[in-house]
Structure 1
Amino acid sequence: MTAQGVRGEQLLSGGERFAPEPGFFAKLIAPGFTNILDRIDAGLERGSLIGHLPDGTTRMLGGRAPGFEAEVWLKDWRALLRLATNGTIGWYQAYEAGEWDTNDMTATFAVMSDNVRTLGGTARSSGPFRWAAALAHRFNRNDKAGSQRNIAAHYDLGNDFYAAWLDPSMTYSSALGCGEDGLEVAQQRKLEAMAERIGEPKTVLEIGCGWGSMAEHLAQQGAKVAAISLSEEQLAYARQRRDSSIEFRKQDYRDAAGQFDAIVSVEMVEALGREYWPEFMDCVARNLKSGGRAALQYISIEDDLFETYTGTADFIQAYIFPGGLLIKSSEFRQLAEARGLGWQDELRFGPDYAETLRIWRERFEDAVAHKRLPEGFDDRFVRLWRYYLAYCEAGFRVGNIDVHQVTLVKQ
């Protein structure tokens, strides 16, 4: 234990509220273990899982058509009970408890994600556990006080932590065109693409500025930039390291007031929650001059999966991004257009996010192996972060989630 104590505990302990241990009651209502395996097998239309079971037997699940392939070592039958009652949250808790392991975590998640429509409720929380997770998620709603808590839980883990595995620009969003030229070049390419969408504005508001790489890029092009965030850690870094002409403010987007030639926002809207999407679009419309342009980068989930996704909370909402919600792109567009914001030049580049996450995961593992993580992050947190990066990478590889850039033009 360090003088700082265990870092990341707010995320670890916060997630526990979503899925209590499956006790005697769960054992009464859960199907038998064989039945759970049968349901998974029936739902895998593509790809396969080879399951090494606690009784020493091995079973192939799926294998009917080409797809992702992985092996899982099930060390305790309770892992299936957790999956059946608490879905992705329970499956993570089983991993944390050492009840299962795999030869390829990303591939394991990809098999499940690729078959999410045919698996139905097999990998989602059920009954009272579903309601409990949904209720816990409601307590993380993003009113002004909640937004401050939720942002701090994730982004205030420490600048030293993120610096250990992000690229030197400290850009924590999808790169564009990941390839042989490396992550840092691909992140710069993303910043340039966002800047091109807004032309050559004199004044820019950035909503959710992170560690300031986007704001600095715009300032270096001659814009006067006001950049807002709720993260104390990110703002401290940006104020110390970035262009001194940038005005970095600790401010909720709902309090932003002014008239700007352009607005940019990179992967901030996933932190809002559906009930606050209209307020975000109000903010853009209110602060953008007539004829002005806004450039957004955001993460979506496929429309046909959205309502099921919002019916409860998943692993990411429980343990990684409290209060978070992926965007339903069609609804988000309707909200923009209803406020006179024309939706133009939409670009989707989900495979680049999969590659960005793969590189982050490799850099994180290297930092762990060479003891470059700052003190205070214990093995439990390391396993959480490893799981998170692989889980998200799988979603983008399959295509159930995507990343977009779009330009909004105020009519």
Structure 2
Amino acid sequence: MSLQKNLTHAEFDRSGSMAGSVVPTMQGRLWHRFLSPIFSGLHYGHVEFILPSGGKLLFGSGNEKEPIVQVQIHNNRTLWSIVTRGMLGVAESFISAHWSCDNLARLFDLCLRNRATYEKLYSHGKVARWIAHLKHLARANSIKGSRKNISFHYDLGNDFYRLWLDPTMTYSSAYKTEEHEALEQAQLRKLDRVLQLSNARPGDTILEIGCGWGAFAERAATIGCKVEGLTLSTEQLDYSINRAKSKGFDNLARFHLRDYRHETGQYDAIASIEMIEAVGEEHWPVYFKHLHDNLRPGGRAALQAITIDENGFEKYRSGADFIQTFIFPGGMLPTEVHLDDHAKKAGLIPVFRETFTQDYAKTLARWSKAFLAQWPQISKLGYDERFKRMWLFYLAYCEAGFANNTINVGHYCYERPA
């Protein structure tokens, strides 16, 4: 339940609803007319909107113990952006500094906990979503398109990622994250878990599809495995090669600028950590066929994958969200059903599954904190305020998604029959 306020402090009546007075200006009435149908049904938390005129609109559950988020509207064009472009408009107007928030992750968390609110925001901008979807389809992950799409995100510069990732340079969810320990420890735990799940033994050969900056290869080399790492990022390739040379494991790890579809070797095991998200739906069958063909009989592929719930997949695939538009062009999250179905069709046997979704929310919170702390140094690399706001939006958006299990992360293992 909600009432609108132009007072400084929230007041609660005995029924638990927020009490106050309606902002009397034309601007206030216009904003109220738009926001009230969206936020008046909040059953958890509170959101206070501060308008460009200084007037305030306050919506909430009425429970004083629940969190309150403050949204400052700096430009009335925000309203038009949301009406015409929905969630894309929310993102675009934030990136343009037309609005700000004291806690982005909490705002997205409130929207997802109050699912009806999120759905109402999503319902706006159908034409914009359709246009974005067409652009997304044009960024398909063909051999040529994949390299371009990967470069868009991962070739921002090794110095950029080095500033805010943990010392292992691992850009994927940590595993069994503990508040008292450094993120690096949870990332090493994840790498060890993937190694364990792949059944790799000293002397075994491992194909890593999507090798990142070489963290997994380094970890595998410590137990005597031989790794062939594939990437489409020139920045990652250079970093990984130099890493192996400087740390003395270049005799056990080699890295290649190569599409997985061009790999012809056979290996004792395969590791692929958060790479399938960049494959694209139409290429999932090919991806799993290569997992099968690149494994020796009896070998195991260990994947770490971000998935989306089966019930939300059709809506998700019919549009292009903020992540696909601004961060990962050509990307598509599978469901767990897709993973197992495509694996079975390729001749692989699903043998293990575990999810650790809340660890990703914790990982993203750590990244956000590090990104903000390092921003003065990041800005010296030439990145501007729009870039900063886009990344803050991205990290907070994902953190809330994992915190509310809208998206999930897990380990999935598949064996090629002996």
Same fold (TM over 0.5): yes
Q: Deviations over 1:86-112 (max 9, x none)?
A: 122211211122221111111011122
| Corresponding position of 1:265 | 272
Cα shift at 1:340: 2.5
Residues 140 and 45 of structure 1: CA distance in aligned 2, closer, same or farther (over 3 Å): farther
Does residue 177 (structure 1) correspond to residue 184 (structure 2)? The answer is no
Extract unaligned runs of 5+ from structure 1: 1-31
Structure number with the bigger relative contact order (C-alpha 8 A, sep ≥ 6) is 1
Cα shift at 1:350: 1.2
Cα shift at 1:375: 2.0
Q: Deviations over 1:249-281 (max 9, x none)?
A: 111111111211110000001111211111111
| Corresponding position of 1:105 | 104
Residues 272 and 341 of structure 1: CA distance in aligned 2, closer, same or farther (over 3 Å): same
| Corresponding position of 1:239 | 241
Number of equivalent positions: 380
| Corresponding position of 1:123 | 122
Q: Deviations over 1:298-352 (max 9, x none)?
A: 1112221111111211111111111111221212211112223222221111111
Q: Which amino acid aligns with 1:158?
A: G
| Corresponding position of 1:409 | 415
1:134 touches 1:313 (CA, 8 Å); kept in 2? yes
Does residue 36 (structure 1) correspond to residue 43 (structure 2)? The answer is no
Q: Which moved more, 1:326-335 or 1:202-211?
A: 326-335
1:40 touches 1:61 (CA, 8 Å); kept in 2? no
Cα shift at 1:130: 2.2
SS where residue 148 of structure 2 aligns?
helix
Q: Which amino acid aligns with 2:295?
A: L
SS where residue 376 of structure 1 aligns?
coil
Q: Which moved more, 1:396-405 or 1:335-344?
A: 335-344
Aligned counterparts of 1:184 and 1:72: Cα–Cα separation in 2: 34
Residues 124 and 250 of structure 1: CA distance in aligned 2, closer, same or farther (over 3 Å): farther
| Corresponding position of 1:15 | none
How does 1:190-339 map onto structure 2 within 5 Å?
A: 190-201=190-201, 202-242=204-244, 243-245=249-251, 246-339=253-346
| Corresponding position of 2:12 | none
Residues 309 and 64 of structure 1: CA distance in aligned 2, closer, same or farther (over 3 Å): farther
Q: Which moved more, 1:53-62 or 1:178-187?
A: 53-62
2:277 touches 2:333 (CA, 8 Å); kept in 1? yes
2:109 touches 2:404 (CA, 8 Å); kept in 1? yes
2:267 touches 2:294 (CA, 8 Å); kept in 1? yes
2:71 touches 2:99 (CA, 8 Å); kept in 1? yes
Query: What TM-score do you get using the length of structure 2 for normalisation?
Result: 0.86
Aligned counterparts of 1:306 and 1:110: Cα–Cα separation in 2: 20
Percent identical across equivalent pairs?
Answer: 39
Does residue 93 (structure 1) correspond to residue 92 (structure 2)? The answer is yes
1:84 touches 1:124 (CA, 8 Å); kept in 2? no
Aligned counterparts of 2:37 and 2:292: Cα–Cα separation in 1: 48
Does residue 383 (structure 1) correspond to residue 392 (structure 2)? The answer is no
Cα shift at 1:115: 3.1
Does residue 359 (structure 1) correspond to residue 361 (structure 2)? The answer is no
SS where residue 395 of structure 1 aligns?
helix
- TM-align CA RMSD: 2.0
Query: What TM-score do you get using the length of structure 1 for normalisation?
Result: 0.87
SS where residue 73 of structure 1 aligns?
strand
Aligned counterparts of 2:107 and 2:397: Cα–Cα separation in 1: 9
Residues 44 and 343 of structure 1: CA distance in aligned 2, closer, same or farther (over 3 Å): farther
Aligned counterparts of 1:286 and 1:117: Cα–Cα separation in 2: 45
Cα shift at 1:283: 0.9
Q: Which moved more, 1:194-203 or 1:71-80?
A: 71-80
